[in-house]
Amino acid sequence: MCTAATYKTKDFYMGRTLDYEFSYGDEITVTPRNYPFHFRHMEELENHYAIIGMAHVADDYPLYYDAVNEKGLGMAGLNFVGNAVYQEIQEGRENVAQFEFIPWILSQCASVEEAKKMLAEMNLVGTVFAPQFPAAQLHWILADKYACITIECVREGLKVYDNPAGVLTNNPPFEQQMFLLNQYMHLSPKQPENHFSEQLPLQTYSRGMGALGLPGDLSSTSRFAKVAFTRAHAVSGDSEAESVSQFFHILGSVDQQRGCCEVAEDKYEITIYTSCWNAQKGIYYYNTYENHQITAVDMHRENLDGTTLARYPLIQKGEIRWQN
Amino acid sequence: MCTAATYKTKDFYMGRTLDYEFSYGDEITVTPRNYPFHFRHMEELENHYAIIGMAHVADDYPLYYDAVNEKGLGMAGLNFVGNAVYQEIQEGRENVAQFEFIPWILSQCASVEEAKKMLAEMNLVGTVFAPQFPAAQLHWILADKYACITIECVREGLKVYDNPAGVLTNNPPFEQQMFLLNQYMHLSPKQPENHFSEQLPLQTYSRGMGALGLPGDLSSTSRFAKVAFTRAHAVSGDSEAESVSQFFHILGSVDQQRGCCEVAEDKYEITIYTSCWNAQKGIYYYNTYENHQITAVDMHRENLDGTTLARYPLIQKGEIRWQN
Amino acid sequence: MCTAATYKTKDFYMGRTLDYEFSYGDEITVTPRNYPFHFRHMEELENHYAIIGMAHVADDYPLYYDAVNEKGLGMAGLNFVGNAVYQEIQEGRENVAQFEFIPWILSQCASVEEAKKMLAEMNLVGTVFAPQFPAAQLHWILADKYACITIECVREGLKVYDNPAGVLTNNPPFEQQMFLLNQYMHLSPKQPENHFSEQLPLQTYSRGMGALGLPGDLSSTSRFAKVAFTRAHAVSGDSEAESVSQFFHILGSVDQQRGCCEVAEDKYEITIYTSCWNAQKGIYYYNTYENHQITAVDMHRENLDGTTLARYPLIQKGEIRWQN
Amino acid sequence: MCTAATYKTKDFYMGRTLDYEFSYGDEITVTPRNYPFHFRHMEELENHYAIIGMAHVADDYPLYYDAVNEKGLGMAGLNFVGNAVYQEIQEGRENVAQFEFIPWILSQCASVEEAKKMLAEMNLVGTVFAPQFPAAQLHWILADKYACITIECVREGLKVYDNPAGVLTNNPPFEQQMFLLNQYMHLSPKQPENHFSEQLPLQTYSRGMGALGLPGDLSSTSRFAKVAFTRAHAVSGDSEAESVSQFFHILGSVDQQRGCCEVAEDKYEITIYTSCWNAQKGIYYYNTYENHQITAVDMHRENLDGTTLARYPLIQKGEIRWQN
C-alpha cells in the first residue's frame, strides 16, 4: 500500500511512499509544456503547465503515480481497492479517465482552488489505458502550500474532502480514517501524567511514553495514525537540506521493511520508493529500498518548453560513501 | 534512548541507533593492536585485538558507545537509567570501570564464549572517567555470529542473559522486556484469520493486518517489540549491499523523528546516528539524522599494528545525488 | 451511553443496559391490546399487539426505551448524539414521531420482516413529545428470533442495516462500528500461537490470552467490540435460568461502574438498569445498579385485553439473601 | 484464574473472584475460636481468632481459598502457576505448609503489621495436604483497613510487597504487574484532551474515552489493569448496601463469561463465585455464576467459641424476584 504526506517549512513539500511487492518500472518523468496530452474523452491539450513526478511511461504516455507542476500543485494517487467506483461517461461533463486524472489536473490548475472548480465539472471514469490493464482503484491527495484535499470516487459519487491531517494512506475511506484519529486524541510527544491513581507511584520509565497507544504495524489505518502523528509534531530547520531530510524521516516512520508484510508465499510488500518534492522549486527527491541516499531531479534543469518527456530511471542501487 | 540489533545473512551484522537530544561529539574510531590500554584498576594492556566503533574520544581515550573487534565480536552500551547499579571494587576480582567495559571485552575476547569467562571473573565498578562526569547508567548487548547475550549490572549483581531476540533497547530490565513479548505472540506478517465470529463478514481491508497490536510509539518497551518483530521477520538477499540496506531498514523501524519525543521545552530526542557493522569484515557503516546516505569506515584500511587511534568525525551533512 | 444485545438458546433473548448519570423515573410497563395509541401525525390505533418494556410514562403515555411485543419482536433505542437527523413530515408517507417509533413498530409488526415493510413507508420525524423536551437523538436495534437489524436516521435519510453482530452501542454510525470489528478479527477464546518468532520461547503465561487486544474502557466503540466478542462466544445451557443468567453476564461485560466515567464534576455515568426479555414468553427481566438480583415482570400475568397501562416501578434496592 | 481487590468506605471490604472450569465443592466455612488447628510441622493451636471464608473442607479441615478473621484481617490465595516455588523445611524456622498458610496467619494475627512479623520467621513449605494432591501454586493478598501486602514465594525466597493498588490477579510476579501499570498511567475517567494536533478537529464522540487503551480481555495482566483502574476510581455511598454493591461492580469488571476463555475443547473458565467480606463486621457476601443475588453468611450469628466448623454450601441457583 502507500502513504502520502505534506510538510511545510519555508517552502512546501509533499511526497509519498510507494509500497508494493514489485515495480512496474518507474521513472522520474518531466512533461514539458508543449508535450501534447491526448485525452480519451476530451480534446487534446497542446500547451499546459510543466510537470515532474514518478511515472510508468507506456507508449510515450506518463502514467503518473505522483507529481507536481511548475505552479507548485502536487498530487498523488494511492491504492483504494474495494472502495473506488468510477463514474459513467456523461455528456456535458468533462469525462476524465482514471489514468488521466493527475495529468488533467496538474496540466491545467495552478492551485487547489482552481482544481476544485475542475473537479466540480468532471466525471472520473473507468476507461482503461489499454485493454489488458484494469483500472487501478485509487484515491488522491492534492495539495499546494495553501490547501490540501482528498478526492475519492466511490459508489455515491466523486467526493472531495478537506484534509487537515495532510496525510493519506489507503482503506477505509478518508472520513473513516479521520474519525479513527479520535481514538488517538490524547497522544503527545510530552510525557504522560499519572491520572490512573494518585495512590500509585507510577513512573515514566522511558522517554517517549506520551504516545503509548500509537500503532506500529503496517496496516493502512495504523500507518495513517502513525504518520499523522509524526507529521503533526515534526520539527526541523527550514533550510532545503533540513526540510527534505525531515520529510524523509516523516515518511520513514511508515517504511515497510521486507519480510514484515507477506502478501503471498515469499512475496513481501516493501517501500519501493519514497518521494519528496519541493513544490516551489520543482525538485523531485526520492530514495529507494536499496538506495538510502537522497537522489534528485530538478525540473528546471530540463527544457520546459520542449515537446518530449525527459525520463530518469530510478537509481535502485545505493552508493556507499567511504570515509577511508 | 537507543536501540540495538543483530542480523545475519551470509555475514553477521550488528549495530544500533543512538537517540538523544544532543551529541557529545562522536567519531568513528579505530583502536589498533598496539594502542596501550591503561585500565584504572587493572594492568596495562599493550597488545590486543584491534577495534572499530563509535566513540567520544577524550584525552586520547576512546569512550566507545558501540564497537566490534577484528575477531567479529561486537558490543553496544545502551541507556539503563534507574536500573544500573555498579559493583564495589573487590580484591581478587577483575575490577573494570564502566567506561572501560567495551575496551576490556573487545580487546581480549574473540567470541561471546570467551567473553562469558571474563564476565565470570570481573566486577563492573562505577569508577568515573573524570571527576566531572558521573558514570553513565548502561546495559550492554554483546554478540558474535554464534551467540548474543545481554549484560546488566543491577542491585542484585552482574547478570548475563542469553538474548534470542537479538535486540536491546532501554528500561525495564531485559527479562521484563522479553516477558512483554509474550503479549505480542500472535503477531504475524501474514494476514489474520477471522476467529472473532464466523457469523460476521469481517474483512482484511488492508495488507499488513497480521501485526495489528504492534506498538508504534517511541518508548523503550514499544521499540523493543517493534524492532524485535521487524528483525525476526526481516528478509533480504545476502550480498553485502542488500544485507546492510536491510539492517538500516530494521533499525529505521524505530527511528526517532525530531518533534515526536519532547524531553524539555523545544528539546527533542532524535536518532543522532545509526550504525551497522559487518562483524567479519570490520567495516563500520552509519548514517546520521541529516545524512541519509550510508557512510563507511573500513578498519582494514588502517594500520592495525599501529599505536594511535584513527579518528573519523561523523559526516553530519547529507549529499544529494543529482540525476540531472 | 448504552449497550444492547441479543442471545439465542432454545428461546430468543434480547435486552440492553441503560447507562446514564441519572434516571428519569422508569417503570416496567405493559401496554395491553386495547390501550389506544394516539399518534401525532397518524390515525389512532385502537387494537394492537400487547407490549412490555421499560418506559418513562408521561401523561399516561409509555415512552419506551426498550420493549418486546407478544409476538416476540423486540426493539431498543440507544443514544446516537450528533448523528441522528430526523426527517421532515411528508405527505403520502407515514410520519412517525421519534418518541412513537417503538410503539408504532411493536404494536403492528409480528416480525422483523413485517417491520421492514413499514420502515419502507415511513418518515421518522422530529416532532417532540412536549414542548419543553427536545427530541432524543437515538438509533435502534430491532430483532426477533430470525433476524436482527439496526435503524439509523441520519443526514442521508433512514437507513436499515442487517446486524449480524446482534449488538448495538452508540456513536459512530453502525457501519463504522462494524468496520472497526475488522481490527479485532484475530481475537479468540483459545490461546494464541507463537507467530512472532520461532526463535523466541514465548509463553502463554495466563489463560485467556487469545483475546489480548480486546478493549476494556467504556467508550462506545470499545463496548461494541467487547460485547460483540462476549456474545459471539457465549456458551450456556438452554434452560430459562441458564439462558437469562448468561445474558446478564454478556451485558455485564460492559457494565459501567460508578466513578469510571466522569461526565461532570462528581457526576458519573453508571449502568442504571440492565434488561433481558424472553421474546417468546413475554417475560421482562432486569437488575439495577444496586439491585443485583434478577427481577421480573411477566406480561402474561396481566390482562392483555385491557385498556390501561400496567406499571411496575424499578426495584432499586437489592435484597441480601441470608444463609444463616 | 482469579482476581482479588480491597475497597474502603466507612468500613473495609475485600474479596475475590474464583475463576476456573470446575468447582471442587466449596462452602462458606466458619472456624470458631476453639477448633483445634493441627499444623504439620508446628504445634497444635487450640485457641485462636475465629475465621470465616470460602473453603473446600476435607477431613474436617478448612482448605481456605479466601477468608477474614474476627479482627478484620483478610487473605486470599490466587493462582501463580509456574512462579510459585515453596521453601525447604528448615529447623529453627516456623515451617508452614502452603495449604496451612491462610489458617496460620488469620488464626494468630490481628493485623497486617502482626502478620509481617510472623512472615519474617516462617518458611512456606510445599508439604501437601494429601499424597494424591500436588501443592497448589499460589500467591496471596493480605489486608486490613490500614495496609495491604502481597506475598510471593518464588525461587529467590519469600517476598513481601506493599500493594498500593489493592488488587491481585495471577502471573507474572507482582512487581512486574505493578510495572505494567506504568503503561496505563494516562488513563482517566475524564474525557481526553486533544494533544494529537491542534490542526485537527478531533472529537470525543462518546463518553468514557479517557480510558481508551484499558484492556478488556481476560488474561491476568489485563484483568490486573482493568480492576486496578476500576477500583482506583470507584465511587459509592458508604452504607453497607452501597459499599457491598459497589464492590461487586468492581470485581464484576473482570467477570469471566462462559465461552470467552476456552481451556480445553468445550471447557471454559468462568467466574465460579465472587466474594466480598466486610472486615469489621465479619459478614461474608458472595454470588455465583448462576446466582446473581448477593448472598451472605454472618460469622457473628455462629457460636464463635465452639469447636466445630460451621459450613454453608454455596447457593448456586439464582432466585428470580417476581414483581407480578
Query: Which residues from D are below 8 Å from C28, CB to CB?
Result: 323
Which pLDDT band, with edges at 50, 70 and 90, does C133 fall under? Answer: confident
Which pLDDT band, with edges at 50, 70 and 90, does D124 fall under? Answer: very high
Residues of chain A numbered 162-201 and touching chain D (CB < 8 Å): 164-165, 178-179, 181-188, 190, 192-197, 199-201
Please report the pLDDT score of residue C4 as a whole number.
Answer: 98
Q: What gap in Å lies between CA D92 and CA B80, rounded to an integer?
A: 41
Whether B321 is in a domain gets the answer: no
Which pLDDT band, with edges at 50, 70 and 90, does B271 fall under? Answer: very high
Q: What gap in Å lies between CA B17 and CA A276, rounded to an integer?
A: 24
Grid coordinates representing D225 are 489493569
| Residue D10 in this model has a pLDDT that exceeds 90 | yes
Q: Which residue bears the cell 502452603? A: D98
CA distance A182 to chain C (A): 11
| Residue B132 in this model has a pLDDT that exceeds 90 | no
Count structural domains, chain A: 1
User: Which residue from D311, D263, D314, D312 is spatially nearest to D287, judged by alpha carbons?
Assistant: D314
Query: Which residues from A are below 8 Å from B230, CB to CB?
Result: 257, 259-260
Percentage of chain D exceeding pLDDT 70: 100
- Interface size, chain B vs chain C, as Cβ–Cβ contacts under 8 Å: 102
Q: What gap in Å lies between CA D160 and CA B320, rounded to an integer?
A: 61
Please report the pLDDT score of residue A132 as a whole number.
Answer: 84
Residues 6+ apart with CB under 8 A from D290: C241, C242, C245, D316, D317, D318
Q: What gap in Å lies between CA D37 and CA D309, rounded to an integer?
A: 11
ipTM over 0.85: yes
Residue of C249, C287, C300 best to disrupt the D interface, most CBs of D under 10 A: C249
Whether C321 is in a domain gets the answer: no
Sign of the C-alpha dihedral computed for residues D76, D81, D83 and D84 taken in this order: positive
pLDDT tens per residue, range A139-189: 999 999 999 999 999 999 999 999 999 999 999 999 999 999 999 999 999
Percentage of chain A exceeding pLDDT 70: 100
Whether D200 is in a domain gets the answer: no
Task: Provide the residue type at C309 as one letter.
Answer: L
Closest residue in chain D to residue A181, using alpha carbons only: D202
CA distance C279 to chain D (A): 17
Whether D221 is in a domain gets the answer: yes
Whether D322 is in a domain gets the answer: no
**Exposed, middle or buried by CB within 10 Å (0-12, 13-18, 19+), for B237?**
middle
Contact in structure between D5 and D14 (CB atoms under 8 Å): yes
* Residues A199/A205/A207/A212 CA torsion (nearest 10 deg): -70
Query: Which residues from A are below 8 Å from D193, CB to CB?
Result: 185-186
Grid coordinates representing C311 are 406499571
Sign of the C-alpha dihedral computed for residues C162, C168, C174 and C175 taken in this order: negative
Q: Does B205 touch chain A (CB under 8 A)?
A: yes
User: For chain C, which chains pass the contact test of at least 3 CB pairs under 8 Å?
Assistant: A, B, D
Whether D199 is in a domain gets the answer: no
| Residue D134 in this model has a pLDDT that exceeds 90 | no
Residue of C177, C186, C204 best to disrupt the B interface, most CBs of B under 10 A: C186
Residues 6+ apart with CB under 8 A from D132: none
Mean pLDDT over each residue of chain C, to the nearest integer: 97
| Residue A32 in this model has a pLDDT that exceeds 90 | yes
Q: Does B214 touch chain C (CB under 8 A)?
A: no
Mean pLDDT over each residue of chain B, to the nearest integer: 97
Please report the pLDDT score of residue B123 as a whole number.
Answer: 97
Select from D200, D201, D229 the Cβ nearest to the Cβ of A196: D229
Closest residue in chain D to residue B217, using alpha carbons only: D183
The helix/strand/coil state of C82 is coil
Please report the pLDDT score of residue B152 as a whole number.
Answer: 98
Q: Count CB atoms within 10 A of the CB of residue C114.
A: 15
Please report the pLDDT score of residue B134 as a whole number.
Answer: 86
3-state SS, one letter per residue, for chain D: CEEEEEEECCCEEEEEEEEECCCCCCEEEEECCCCCECCCCCCCECCCCCEEEEEEEECCEEEEEEEEECCCCEEEEEECCCCCCCECCCCCCEEEEHHHHHHHHHCCCCCHHHHHHHHHHEEEECCCCCCCCCCCCEEEEEECCCCEEEEEEECCEEEEEECCCCEECCCCCHHHHHHHHHHHCCCCCCCCCCCCCCCCCCCCCCCCHHHCCCECCCCHHHHHHHHHHHHHHCCCCCCHHHHHHHHHHHHHCCCCCCCCCEEECCEECEEEEEEEEECCCCEEEEEECCCCCCEEEEHHHCCCCCCCCEEEECCCCCCCEECC
Which pLDDT band, with edges at 50, 70 and 90, does A133 fall under? Answer: confident
Calculate mean pLDDT across residues A279-298: 98
Select from D188, D190, D196 the Cβ nearest to the Cβ of A232: D196
Contact in structure between B108 and B118 (CB atoms under 8 Å): yes
Please report the pLDDT score of residue B133 as a whole number.
Answer: 80
Verify whether the Cβ–Cβ distance B208 to A218 is below 8 Å: yes
Verify whether the Cβ–Cβ distance A205 to D197 is below 8 Å: no
Tell me the residue range of the domain where D91 lies.
2-192+207-313
Q: What gap in Å lies between CA B78 and CA A2, rounded to an integer?
A: 33
Whether D241 is in a domain gets the answer: yes
Q: Which residue bears the cell 558521573? A: B134
Sign of the C-alpha dihedral computed for residues A25, A27, A32 and A33 taken in this order: positive
Whether B95 is in a domain gets the answer: yes
Verify whether the Cβ–Cβ distance D185 to A205 is below 8 Å: no
Q: Does B207 touch chain A (CB under 8 A)?
A: yes
Calculate mean pLDDT across residues A22-36: 96
**A144 — phi, psi (to 5°)?**
-125, -170
User: Which residue from D219, D183, A259 is spatially nearest to B224, judged by alpha carbons?
Assistant: D183
Please report the pLDDT score of residue D1 as a whole number.
Answer: 80
Contact in structure between C299 and C50 (CB atoms under 8 Å): yes
The helix/strand/coil state of C217 is coil
Please report the pLDDT score of residue C1 as a whole number.
Answer: 79
Q: What gap in Å lies between CA C312 and CA C29, rounded to an integer?
A: 6
Query: Which residues from C are below 8 Å from D260, CB to CB?
Result: 189, 208, 211, 229-230, 233-234
Calculate mean pLDDT across residues A69-85: 98
Q: What gap in Å lies between CA D283 and CA D298, rounded to an integer?
A: 4
Q: Count CB atoms within 10 A of the CB of residue D161.
A: 17
pLDDT tens per residue, range B98-109: 999 999 999 999
pLDDT tens per residue, range A50-75: 999 999 999 999 999 999 999 999 99
| Residue D133 in this model has a pLDDT that exceeds 90 | no
Contact in structure between D259 and D33 (CB atoms under 8 Å): no
Calculate mean pLDDT across residues D16-39: 96
- Cis peptide, bond prior to residue B192, ω within 30 of zero: no
Which H or E element spans position B297? strand B295-298
Residues of chain B numbered 236-265 and touching chain A (CB < 8 Å): 236, 241-242, 245-246, 248-250, 252-253, 255-263
Query: Which residues from A are below 8 Å from B259, CB to CB?
Result: 189, 230, 233-236
Closest residue in chain C to residue A195, using alpha carbons only: C260
The helix/strand/coil state of A33 is coil
Closest residue in chain D to residue A226, using alpha carbons only: D196
Residue of D78, D217, D224 best to disrupt the C interface, most CBs of C under 10 A: D217
| Residue A251 in this model has a pLDDT that exceeds 90 | yes
Q: What are the CA-CA distances from residue A145 to residues A152, A229, A252, A278, C267 (Å)?
A: 21, 20, 22, 10, 46
Query: Which residues from B are below 8 Å from C232, CB to CB?
Result: 196-197, 199-200
Select from C182, C193, C213 the Cβ nearest to the Cβ of B202: C182
Calculate mean pLDDT across residues A210-237: 98
Which pLDDT band, with edges at 50, 70 and 90, does C66 fall under? Answer: very high
CA distance C16 to chain D (A): 17
Closest residue in chain C to residue A213, using alpha carbons only: C213
> What is the CATH classification number for the domain harbouring C263?
3.60.60.10
Grid coordinates representing A68 are 507536481
Please report the pLDDT score of residue A1 as a whole number.
Answer: 80
**Exposed, middle or buried by CB within 10 Å (0-12, 13-18, 19+), for D175?**
middle
Q: Which residue bears the cell 484469520? A: B193
Select from A178, A179, A196 the Cβ nearest to the Cβ of D232: A196
Which pLDDT band, with edges at 50, 70 and 90, does B203 fall under? Answer: very high
Grid coordinates representing C230 are 462476549
Sign of the C-alpha dihedral computed for residues B247, B248, B252 and B255 taken in this order: positive
| Residue B1 in this model has a pLDDT that exceeds 90 | no
Verify whether the Cβ–Cβ distance D165 to A199 is below 8 Å: yes
Q: Tabulate helix, strand, coil % of chain A (nearest 5).
A: 20, 35, 50
Which H or E element spans position C120? helix C112-121
